[in-house]
Structure formats: C-alpha cells, structure tokens
Copies of this chain bind each other. A is one copy, B any other.
Amino acid sequence: MAAFSIHGDIIWTEEPGSFRYAEGGYLTVDEGKIVSVSSDRPADAEVIDMEGRLVFPGLSDLHLHAPQYAFMGLHMDEELLEWLNRHTFPEEAKYRDVAYAEKAYSILADDLLHGATTRVSVFGTIHTDSTLLLMRKLEEAGLAGCVGKVAMDRNSPDILIEDTDESIRETERFVRESSAFRSITPSITPRFVPSCSDRLLRTLGKIASENDLPVQSHLDENLSEISWVQELCPWSENYADVYRAAGLLGRKTIMAHCVWLNDEEMEMLRSTGTFIAHAPSSNRNLSSGIAPMRKYLDFGINAGLSTDVAGGSSISMLRMIEDAIGVSKLLWRSDSSAGRPLTFPEAFYLASKGGGAYFGRTGSFEPGYDADIAVFDDSVIKTVLRPGLSVPERLELLVYRAPESRAEAKFVKGRRIL
C-alpha cells in the first residue's frame, strides 16, 4: 500500500482526559499504520483532501447482536428477561434460514459501514452457516473484528436451543470454516450463564484456549439475571466466577454490561485483563441500571463502549459517547459514591483507544497504530457560532447533534472502505 496523507481537521485522544488535534493538519499513513500528524504537507505521499472535515479514529463497538438489528428500537417498554423471551429469541430463531439472514445482515453491514465504527465484536445466532455469512458480509464491507456463533444449551425456547454436544461440534466447525476470513476472526460466544451448562462453558473455554481465540459473553446485566445465576451455579462465588472456572476470562475476553460487579468480580476482571463492554443505551432501555464506569476505570479494568444492538437502540458509536456521559451523570446524581461523571474526552477515549485496545493498537493516531480513520462532514450542523469553533467543540457538536450522520470516508488498517 502506498503512503497517503489525509488533509483535514484531525482529532484524537491518547489518554482519557484530553484531546489532541490539528486543524488543517495532515494525517500520514503507510503500510496500513499511522506515520504522523503534522501541520505540513508531506512531500512523498498522495494527499486526500478532506479540508474542513473532522478526521478522527475509527471507533470500536465491543458488543452488538447482529440478528437483533432488525428490531432495534422496538418493544422498548420491557425488561431484559421478558424482552429476551417475547421478542429476541423468536426473532433470532429465524436465522436458521440463511436467506433471511442474508437480507438482514446485508442491511446491518451497510449501516455499520456508513457510521463511525471500524471494529466490532459481534454476536450472531446459534446457526453456524448464518453466522459464517455474517462474517462474510462484514469482511466484504471492509470492517474488522470478531464474530461469534452463539452457544446455548439450556433454559432456551425449543426454537433456539442446542444439544450440548451439537453446540460444541458446531462451534468447532465454525472455528474451522471461519479461517477463510482475514479481517474478521471467530469469537467463542457462550450467550450467558443462564443459557449454558457448566459442561458447555468448560468445553468452550478449552476451545478458546487451545486455539488462542477471543471470547465474548454477558455479565451482571440485570438483578433478576444475577439471582438466577446464583440458583443455577450454587457452587460459584459469584457470576464472574462461573466464567473464570471455565477458563473464559482474560485479555482476549469481552464481558458485556457489568452493571452490578461486586468487589471480587472487579478484581477478577482486572487481574485477568478482561474487557468490559459498557452499553449505556441498553442499560437505560432495559432498565438494567447504570454500570459505574468511573469506579471500574479508576480500579484499572480494561473497558470500551458498545451499542449492544438491540438492547441499545442506536448503531452509532457517536451516540454511545453521548449516552455514556449522560448515564454517568445520572448515576453520579443518584449515587455520588459512583464517582464523578465521564467527561466528553474521556468518553471519546473509551469509544476509540479504550475499546480499540481490545483489537491491538487501534483507536488513536499515535505512530504505529492501525490506520482506522473516520471522516465526517460536520457542516450539516448549522450555528451562527461557525466559523470560530475549535476542533474539539465541533466534535462535541457532532456527537450531541448529529450522531446518526453518515461518514464521508472511512479507512480500516489503511484501506479505504468508503
């Protein structure tokens, strides 16, 4: 890949508290990696002119359910377990039909392509072939990340359940057949403890460890769910302990939600390097409660943001930045021990470099980082204050006022995909 340089208003975070930016700067990329941000036009690179546009790192969506995108924004008056049984499971069962999956996943891949997201960690369904098709759709769109065939062998409706051995066999087939993809890798994906027997969880842990694969699941989302896990696994210290015992925690694991972690669970996530996928829109929509992210971050747990389609009701990671700030303010107001609210640069950091760390060196414009880049035209937001706004102010306006905007250009690992 030849070197190129994007000319525009470049902004990123290297640490949580503050932005770096270069108005009218040049972001130079070579061999798929960031080379530099400079105010001078580079002599030896093709320049892509995005003058007056916001140029920021592609964002990482650490948790979403591909088959739920079709009904995202519907039935939002319900709580988690009711919502799963009445709407989610019946809809997911339809993905047995690969033709149905093809239609639905094409819409998802196209909408993801046009947003700010470049990296994803995605749940499919229990259906191996539909999930392989999902990987193909995402790879064809040029996105990068992980996709999992969901495993679930108990407490699930007849239309959406596997026999334990079948679940293991299909997971193994999924891992084998997905080796065909380059930028999308398979992820071991037990749905959550209530849906997975101890034997299934332990076997999945073994598959993940033997193949050095990423893992994704759910943890401590809802109080009823937590009580249920205690009943199902009386031998465990707590919910996180069930995953730990199965060898499913670690630096390559994402646990979605973590609204209600206790001190032991916090320590378990920190010491294993497990990532939290904070899902603020979903926390709100499903009345789950608000994950105390300030506390978790201060404690040193790895974390990023996620849309949690379709507990969350937007596929936009820009909207998740606003939502993460918003719910943190309400949590702080109702419980000051949760710590002060997230600031805008902190939430942006979580959406970019914080969550991006799961995928390696991505989500920042430091030299050597993967060149994941999103370009947005913020001039659609009309205000008499323009010109005269700083680059961080314009980014804040984009997040609050036009989070569903479509990207004007996008790059993943230096390759232009839009």
Contacts and interface: CB of A to CB of B under 8 A. Distances in A.
Nearest to A283: B330
Task: Name which of A70, A284, A404 has the most chain B CB atoms within 10 A of its CB.
Answer: A284
A76 B395 CA distance: 12
Task: Name which of A76, A103, A332, A402 has the most chain B CB atoms within 10 A of its CB.
Answer: A76
A interface secondary structure, majority: helix
Interface string A99-115: 01001100100110000
A287 B385 contact: no
Contacts of A381: 73
Interface stretch (A207-215, A246-254, A319-327, A369-377): A319-327
A2 interface: no
Interface in A104-155: 104, 107, 110-111
A329 B401 contact: no
A60 interface: no
Given A329-B284, A334-B335, A343-B77, A401 B290 contact: no
Contact of A100 (B75, B286, B384): B384
Contact of A73 (B69, B289, B400): B400
Contacts of A75: 396
A107 B73 contact: no
A333 B384 contact: no
Nearest to A111: B382
A314 B326 CA distance: 13
A40 B326 CA distance: 46
Contacts of A76: 325, 344, 396, 400
A149 to B, nearest CB: 20
A238 interface: no
A110 B381 CA distance: 12
A186 interface: no
A45 interface: no
Interface string A289-325: 1100000000000000000000001100000001001
A366 to B, nearest CB: 24
Interface in A382-409: 382-385, 389, 393, 396-397, 399-402, 404
Interface string A75-87: 1110000000000
A329 B332 CA distance: 16
B72 A330 contact: no
A74 interface: yes
A363 interface: no
Q: How many of chain A's residues touch chain B, expressed as a range?
A: 35 or more
A341 interface: yes
A5 interface: no
A121 to B, nearest CB: 22
B330 A290 contact: yes
Given A76-B396, A107-B383, A384-B70, A334 B334 contact: yes
Contacts of A335: 334
Task: Name which of A327, A333, A389, A399 has the most chain B CB atoms within 10 A of its CB.
Answer: A333
Contacts of A334: 289, 330-331, 334-335
A285 interface: yes
A345 B290 CA distance: 24
A385 B332 contact: no
A76 to B, nearest CB: 6
B73 A401 contact: yes
Nearest to A389: B74
B384 A73 contact: no
B314 A401 contact: yes
Given A71-B385, A314-B400, A334-B335, 15 more contacts: A70-B384, A73-B381, A73-B396, A73-B399, A73-B400, A74-B396, A74-B400, A76-B396, A76-B400, A111-B382, A285-B329, A286-B329, A287-B341, A290-B330, A313-B401
7 contacts: A70-B384, A77-B341, A77-B343, A103-B384, A110-B382, A327-B330, A404-B404
